[in-house]
Structure formats: C-alpha cells, structure tokens
Amino acid sequence: MLDEIRTIYLDADLNIEAYRFKGIMHKFPAHFHDYYVIGYIEEGQHALMCKGERYIINSGDLLLFNPYDTHSCEQLDDKKLHYRSINVKAEVMKKIVFEINGNENLPYFKQCVISQSELVSNLKELHLKISQDESQFKKEELFLYFMEELIQTYSDLTNDLQAVETSHEIKTMCHYLEENYTKQISLNDLSQLTGWSKFHLLRSFTKEKGISPYSYLETIRINHAKRLLEQGLKPIEVTFLTGFSDQSHLTKFFKRQIGLTPKQYMRIYLNT
C-alpha cells in the first residue's frame, strides 16, 4: 500500500480529469461511471470484466468505457497495475463532436479493450501535458486531434464534414499569430477570428501549412528569439520578449528546432 500512487489532475482548460494510478494491487469491484473513461495500461497484467466479457489486459492496451458500462478489474499473479486515464463528461464530449462534424451525437465505443493501440502514445503525451500544466493552446490541440482520431476509429460516429479550400482564413490566422506571438493565444481566439470550429481550423490549417497552429506559433517565437540572441540579449530576457512562459520552455523548443541551447547560440554570436 505504501508504494501506491493515486493522482488526479483537474484540467480547467479542457474541463476533464486525468487519473494516474501506480502500484495498485487491490481488486476493483463491478462499477460504472456517468462519464467516458479513456485510459491505457502502463505496466502490469490484469483481468478485466466489461459488459459480461472477460479480457486480459497488458501494457500498451487502450481501454474505452462508455458512460454506464459496468466493469471490474483485478490483478493477476501479484502484478501491480500502472494506469493512466482521462475522464470526459457527456457535455464535454458533445462539444467535441460538434467541433468535428457539427452535431452533438454522443459516440458509443464498440470495443472496451483495444490491444496495443497506436493511439496510446497520443494519450500518453496528452496526459503528460496535463500533468505538467502545459499551455492551453498545446493541450487543446493535442486533445482535439486525439479525440477526433479516437472517435473516428473506434466509435459508431463518422465524420461527414467536408474540407474546403480556405486560404483567406488561413492567411488571417497566420497574420494574427505573427503579430501577436508575445501574447497568450488560444484556439478560441483563432476560432473567433475565423468563425470556424476549433477542429475545422486545426485540420484545415495543418493540411494547408503542413504544421499545426501551435507549432507555427512556436516557430515564430523561435525565429524572433534567434534574432534577439544574435544581438546579445540573455536567454532570460529573450524568454519574456518572445512569449515563452519561462526559460526552460524557451530552451526546450529552441534546442529541438535549432539543435543548440539559447545560451550556446548566443555565445556563437558573441565570439564573432
């Protein structure tokens, strides 16, 4: 019991809960929730009963519980369970579906266990962003992309929304991001700017530009950061002049794009 970790993150930006259970040994009796549970097994092997079917679940398996799906779980051979999930209320799910295809039909996930699903890596990234209190823009982008693929792949809903050529709106968003890169920008800002749903603007922007809106914004910030570092400004100064939340945020994105830390990059120009 002393090794157990049970953590709940309440994400006000996405209006969802993120659970992390580590080292869990006890049996979960039959129960249900009035919200969707979307989780994955990090480690361990357990026996799951869901809607009268028995499953052996392993590391890498994706779990999908609709509201009121009855399920129970217990460990096998004293193996501890390491598990993460997000809980999505029905009203939040309706908004997601509306973003995707313009209606509020609730999806029904036909399978409760998807063995070794490729979507586990996406869910893991989203869960980590929530636990690390990542910016709203990045989290919401990840969340909508993940939910769209999840719903399209594993639910009874299909996407009837047809993509259209919308270069004017894309240019408007690009201009807005370029002019306001020092500010805190959200998908809601871009949605109001264009009159598009968040999902539609994400899909259209990424299709046309080959990069997501958040990545586009971070690239703009990095380009401005390079110019300021070349002028001899210190990384801590550059951080707040380019819209990054803190210096570690700047360093992370700068090194990923440039291959050097901001300090290493600055020194190159100081020594020339």
Domain at 241, CATH number: 1.10.10.60
Residue 194: pLDDT band (50, 70, 90) is very high
Task: Note the pLDDT of residue 161.
Answer: 41
**N-terminal to C-terminal alpha carbon distance within the chain:** 59
For the chain, the average pLDDT equals 87
Percent of the chain with pLDDT over 70: 95
**Full residue range of the structural domain in which residue 17 is found:** 5-154
> What is the reported pLDDT for 68?
86
Q: Are residues 98 and 140 in the same domain?
A: yes
CA distances from 255 to 262, 266, 271 (A): 7, 12, 20
With contact defined as beta carbons under 8 Å apart, do 178 and 238 qualify? no
Considering Cα of 245, then 250, then 251, then 256, what sign does the dihedral take?
A: positive
Within this chain, do residues 175 and 143 fall inside the same structural domain, yes or no? no
Is the pLDDT score of 162 beyond 90? no
Percent of the chain with pLDDT over 90: 50
Clarify whether residues 242 and 272 are in a common domain.
Answer: yes
Answer yes or no: do 105 and 226 share one domain: no
- Same domain for 181 and 136, yes or no, is no
How do residues 49-99 score in pLDDT, each as one tens digit?
Answer: 998 899 999 999 999 999 988 888 888 877 788 899 999 999 999 999 988
Residues 101 and 145 in one domain: yes
How would you classify the pairing of strands 5-11 and 53-57? Answer: unpaired
Res. 33: pLDDT tops 50: yes
Residues, the chain, total? 272
Express each pLDDT in 132-156 by its tens digit.
888 889 899 999 999 999 999 999 8
Last residue of a domain, one of 104, 134, 154: 154
Last residue of a domain, one of 154, 189, 213: 154
User: 102 and 172 share a domain?
Assistant: no
The reported pTM is 0.78
Q: Say if CB 127 and CB 84 are below 8 A apart.
A: yes
Which CATH number belongs to the domain containing residue 24 in this structure? 2.60.120.10
**Same domain assignment for residues 146 and 197:** no
Instruction: Note whether 105 and 196 are same-domain residues.
Output: no
In the β-sheet with 46-50, what is the strand arrangement from edge to edge? 28-31, 71-75, 46-50, 53-57
Q: Residue 229 in 3-state DSSP?
A: helix
Q: Place 38 in a pLDDT band, splitting at 50, 70 and 90.
A: very high
Looking from the CA of 103 toward its CB, the CA atoms found within 13 Å total 8
